[in-house]
Amino acid sequence: MKVGVVGCGHVGLVTAAALAELGHEVLGTDRDAEKLALLARGETPFYEPGLEEALRRGMRAGRLRFTPDPAEALRDAEVVFICVGTPPRADGEANLLAVERSGSTIARHGRDGAIVVEKSTVPAGTADRLAEILRREGGGRRFEVASNPEFLREGSALRDALEPDRIVIGIGSARSLRTLARLYEPLTREGHPLIVTDIRTAELAKHASNAFLAMKISFANALARLCERAGADVAAVADVMGADPRIGRAFLDAGLGYGGYCFPKDVAALERLARRLGYGFPLLREVARLNDEAVEAAVEKIADALWHLEGKRIAILGLSFKPETDDVRLSPALTLADRLLAAGAEVVGFDPRAGRNAKEELPALRVAADPYEAAAGAHCLVIATAWREFRDLDLVALRACMAYPVVVDGRNLLDPEAVVAAGFTYYPTGRPPLRPEAPAPPRPAAEPVRAGPLGLSTG
């Protein structure tokens, strides 16, 4: 099938590459000509495992192309995906300007009868506005609107697109359903389930899914605060909870909280939507507050370990909002760095991929070339993002180059015993700290050791 993709960001490119892999003819367009030039050379503007290869494969096969000319991209497309950003406004409400503009562009250049699919995450009810624009500006051509939310995780987005847990399609007509079912037939044939709903349900289901996952993380983080006080272990509590299939273990890892482009914005947007519709949903505000508290708790832990933050040097390992990405948008690691800098500490960060983006986002942050350079002279080492390679750090070498032997593990990534054996005091998340065994005080050699009444040494 011929498919147009409006917006070549993370979602748009993954959608375009995946649909080309499924055998469709895809034309992508974007307002950013520089980005398109990069794509034409087979390069992506961000890091996403496997995406560059998939784009090149699609282009080589002649099934995937990018053009700055929306007329060319949309002229023949039976299905047009809207994949533009819906960033939060200051009050948390989703900014739908780019969706509106895409609607106008499609109304001008799209072909009669095309199905216009919202892939961007939008509040329930957006499809009606979109349909109105297409009607008003379409010059008599008819379009149908549908919703097909994405559930892509950065770092595994292509796999998520090609091996989805579910394909959700919100439709308003049997014709839309037939067309979209045909589009995804290569996936449904392999057993990936297709869930068909009305359009508003599909729109809301996306926000609800992300908000629920965010709630699980915030629940785990609140438990972490409690476990630290109660002397329990939050990861073990999560294991016990997660063994119940009604709860599930996923997204119960306590840490510095969630970041990235989706969860913070989607929780806020759903809360705003609920309020606009006259339903408070205060749980969502609490989810966001607990997420902020997760970083605050780490700041307090570091301050407590170092007595004062002023004048201390702190090494932060991991700057991206999660491993396997160079994305630093709303990264808890950078929020933490910012808070420490504001408290008068010097902060040196390292990230396997996100160093450059982090420096751009937070210029006061020093970015080191490797973990050991970051740790040199530091009073505290913080694990802020769970990059796998940090598990293999040479802890003895780190200890040797640091000023104080203090590790704060904001992601419970390291092996506690190994950290303590290397001579560090270890502050995990949601568990009491671990200290190296204090050496036994020397005994005066002349005193004889006498046995006490129970045979215990009283020396």
Q: Which residues bind ligand UDX (CB under 6 A)?
A: 150-154, 210, 213, 217, 251-253, 255, 257-260, 262-263, 321-322
Supply the residues annotated as catalytic.
262
Least separation in angstroms between CB 429 and ligand UDX: 10
Q: What is the DSSP letter of 443?
A: P
Contacts of 379 (CB under 8 A, 6+ apart): 306, 312, 313, 314, 402, 403, 404, 406
Strand pairing partners for 451?
A: 457
Least separation in angstroms between CB 287 and ligand UDX: 12
Question: Measured in whole angstroms, how far is the alpha carbon of residue 415 from the centre of its chain?
Answer: 24
Helix (H, G, I), strand (E, B) or coil at 105: helix
Q: How far is 74 from 67, CA to CA, in rounded Å? A: 10
Question: Measured in whole angstroms, how far is the alpha carbon of residue 169 from the centre of its chain?
Answer: 23
Least separation in angstroms between CB 306 and ligand UDX: 24
Residue 26: half-sphere exposure toward Cβ, Cα within 13 Å: 30
Q: Which is nearer to ligand UDX, 258 or 390 (CB)?
A: 258
Least separation in angstroms between CB 313 and ligand UDX: 25
Chain position whose Cβ is nearest to ligand UDX: 262
Helix (H, G, I), strand (E, B) or coil at 37: helix
Least Cα distance to 215 among 131, 160, 304, 291 occurs for 291
Least separation in angstroms between CB 257 and ligand UDX: 6
Q: How far is 284 from 25, CA to CA, in rounded Å? A: 40
Q: Which is nearer to ligand UDX, 312 or 329 (CB)?
A: 329
By the 10 Å C-beta count (0-12 exposed, 13-18 middle, 19+ buried), 341 is classed as: middle
Least separation in angstroms between CB 117 and ligand UDX: 16
Q: Could you tell me the two tokens for 457? A: 């040494």
Least separation in angstroms between CB 151 and ligand UDX: 4
Q: What is the Cα gyration radius of the chain? A: 26
Q: Which is nearer to ligand UDX, 219 or 424 (CB)?
A: 219
Pairing of strands 425-427, 406-409: parallel
Q: Which is nearer to ligand UDX, 265 or 379 (CB)?
A: 265
Q: How far is 135 from 129, CA to CA, in rounded Å? A: 10
Q: Which is nearer to ligand UDX, 258 or 424 (CB)?
A: 258
Q: How far is 31 from 314, CA to CA, in rounded Å? A: 41
Q: How far is 211 from 262, CA to CA, in rounded Å? A: 9
Q: Which is nearer to ligand UDX, 86 or 210 (CB)?
A: 210
Q: Which is nearer to ligand UDX, 14 or 345 (CB)?
A: 14
